[in-house]
């Protein structure tokens, strides 16, 4: 396996940091031991945690106003994989890539799978795209895809999703994520009930094509690109659709796809309660589907989501296999740096949720001791778990300080010499 960053550079950096890391890890270990927690057990848990990165997140995103490319950004799936390999090589927490079709279309998927494996990567959920028209496509999605009135557009959207399953089988994926932008911009534009009927009928055709061990992850979104109504607008529509489709259909929670101030952690608990929690698209937001970096705005919310996941893991109903993915738009940063920082923020919340004294939390809940219940969460949230993450990373061959090594490697500068420049223009939103 040939990884993009020099192993010697990582080793030298880690050696220089080793004494400080041991010191910090030892101090945190003693603090946790006083609370009856074995730091090595937490580290082992963290070492087993992973989150997928989106192929589309490797390029600079943009808004409908502009996209500002950077020199050396990837121009195709091969270059995206190489960048994703950098993220995983340094962080050791992102071993899978979630591809999007037709954006990542190639002629030989077996070869693509091998290429990824050669970079230490596998593939996560495949994402279909029926929210844009592609050149030469027979039917437009301007009036919807799976829910369109036009039977031709519906058929085309179903066939595209089935093709995504076929591609995913070749890549070793076991999940199909379906997000449709279908909806309306005017009251009266479409009949709410009939558009959902059409969606369900089309989605059931995709569901019927799922291999036995596959899941169909339904991703809801309240608005955008449709601004008045969206067919799968919220977790309610999502769970109803998933229940109607069958046991292999689950709900995917993108943190940016909710009404402002919605209690997302409670949604997570509800979906799990009914065996329908399928996975996440992690990002952060201030106003809507901002696709900001995970944990950059509201890290406490991210922690509370992981706290519900820790509860769910302890009480599995209908299995507990949420898939974790990042879905962000990196408009003003180097996407590799954003995903390194985001993966760390996500793993930190996972680690902190593991530190919650669940016995104390549940006892306080039973006793209606509100303050102590809250303190059980607060105690875990305020612990700086970074030495645990760094130790797990270093032991797995990653870098103690991921961003420092990435900058020292001058990877992007090297790619700027090798890769063709990306054109200006509006980006994806
Ligand atoms: C839509 O906003 C979304 O969150 C879906 O996951 C898409 O697949 C992705 O962003 C990329 O546009
Ligand atoms: Mn998403
Ligand atoms: Mn989104």
Q: Are strands 183-184 and 175-178 parallel, antiparallel or unpaired?
A: unpaired
Atom of ligand 1 nearest to the CA of 181: 1
Q: Which residues line ligand 1 (CB under 6 A)?
A: 56, 127, 179, 219, 221, 254, 281, 289, 327, 428
**Distance from residue 295's CA to the centre of ligand 3 (Å):** 16
Tens digits of residue pLDDT in 2-32: 999 999 999 999 999 999 999 999 999 999 9
Tens digits of residue pLDDT in 130-142: 999 999 999 999 9
Q: What percent of the chain has pLDDT over 90?
A: 96
Mean pLDDT, all residues of the chain: 97
Ligand 1 mutation pick, 164, 176, 179, 330, max ligand atoms within 8 A of CB = 179
Atom of ligand 1 nearest to the CA of 254: 4
Orientation angle between helical segments 335-354 and 39-48, nearest 10 degrees: 140
**Distance from residue 256's CA to the centre of ligand 3 (Å):** 6
Sign, CA torsion 339/343/349/350: positive
**Which residue's alpha carbon is at the smallest distance from atom 1 of ligand 1?**
179
**Distance from residue 303's CA to the centre of ligand 3 (Å):** 20
CATH code of 51-355, in short, is 3.20.20.150
Taking the domains of the chain in order of start, what are their residue ranges? Answer: 51-355
Of the candidates 231, 212, 234, which has an alpha carbon nearest to the alpha carbon of residue 222? 234
User: How many other CB atoms sit within 10 Å of the CB of residue 109?
Assistant: 19
Decide if pLDDT at 424 tops 70.
no
Confidence of residue 423 (pLDDT cuts 50, 70, 90): confident
Confidence of residue 425 (pLDDT cuts 50, 70, 90): low
Tens digits of residue pLDDT in 248-274: 999 999 999 999 999 999 999 999 999
**Which residue's alpha carbon is at the smallest distance from atom 7 of ligand 1?**
179
Distance CA 416, CA 101 (A): 26
Distances (CA, A) of 67 to 62, 114, 256: 4, 32, 20
**Distance from residue 219's CA to the centre of ligand 2 (Å):** 7
Atom of ligand 1 nearest to the CA of 56: 11
**Distance from residue 40's CA to the centre of ligand 2 (Å):** 34
**Distance from residue 291's CA to the centre of ligand 3 (Å):** 7
CB-based neighbours (< 5 A) of ligand 3, an ion: 289
């Amino acid at each position: 396996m040939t990884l993009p960053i020099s192993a010697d550079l990582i080793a030298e950096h880690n050696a220089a940091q080793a004494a400080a890391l041991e010191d910090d890890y030892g101090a945190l270990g003693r603090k946790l031991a006083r609370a009856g927690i074995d730091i090595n057990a937490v580290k082992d848990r963290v070492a087993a945690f992973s989150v997928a990165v989106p192929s589309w997140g490797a390029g600079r995103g943009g808004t409908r106003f502009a996209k500002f490319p950077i020199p050396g950004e990837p121009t195709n799936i091969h270059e995206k994989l190489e960048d994703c390999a950098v993220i995983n090589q340094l962080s050791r927490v992102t071993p899978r890539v979630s591809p999007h079709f037709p954006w990542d279309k190639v002629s030989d998927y077996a070869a693509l799978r091998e290429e990824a494996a050669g970079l230490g990567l596998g593939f996560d959920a495949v994402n279909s795209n029926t929210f844009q028209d592609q050149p030469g496509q027979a039917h437009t999605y301007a009036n919807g895809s799976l829910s369109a009135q036009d039977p031709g557009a519906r058929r085309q959207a179903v066939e595209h999703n089935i093709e995504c399953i076929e591609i995913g089988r070749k890549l070793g994926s076991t999940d199909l994520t379906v997000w449709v932008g279908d909806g309306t911009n005017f009251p009266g534009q479409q009949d709410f009930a009939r558009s959902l009927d059409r969606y369900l009928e089309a989605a059931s055709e995709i569901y019927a094509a799922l291999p036995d061990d596959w899941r169909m992850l339904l991703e809801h979104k309240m608005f955008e690109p449709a601004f008045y109504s969206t067919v799968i607008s919220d977790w309610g529509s999502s769970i109803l659709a998933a229940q109607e489709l069958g046991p292999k259909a689950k709900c995917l929670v993108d943190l940016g796809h909710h009404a402002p101030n919605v209690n997302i952690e409670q949604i997570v608990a509800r979906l799990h309660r009914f065996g329908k929690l399928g996975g996440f698209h992690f990002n952060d937001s201030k106003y809507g589907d901002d696709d900001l970096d995970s944990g950059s705005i509201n890290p406490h919310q991210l922690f509370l989501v992981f706290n519900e996941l820790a509860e769910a893991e302890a009480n599995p109903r209908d299995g507990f296999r949420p898939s974790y993915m990042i879905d962000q738009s990196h408009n003003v940063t180097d996407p590799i740096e954003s995903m390194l920082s985001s993966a760390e923020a996500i793993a930190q919340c996972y680690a902190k949720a593991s530190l919650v004294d669940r016995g104390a939390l549940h006892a306080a809940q039973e006793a209606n001791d509100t303050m102590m219940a809250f303190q059980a969460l607060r105690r875990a949230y305020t612990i700086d778990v970074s030495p645990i993450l760094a130790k797990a990373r270093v032991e797995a061959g990653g870098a103690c300080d991921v961003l420092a090594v990435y900058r020292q490697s001058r990877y992007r500068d090297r790619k700027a010499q090798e890769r063709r420049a990306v054109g200006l223009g509006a980006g994806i939103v």
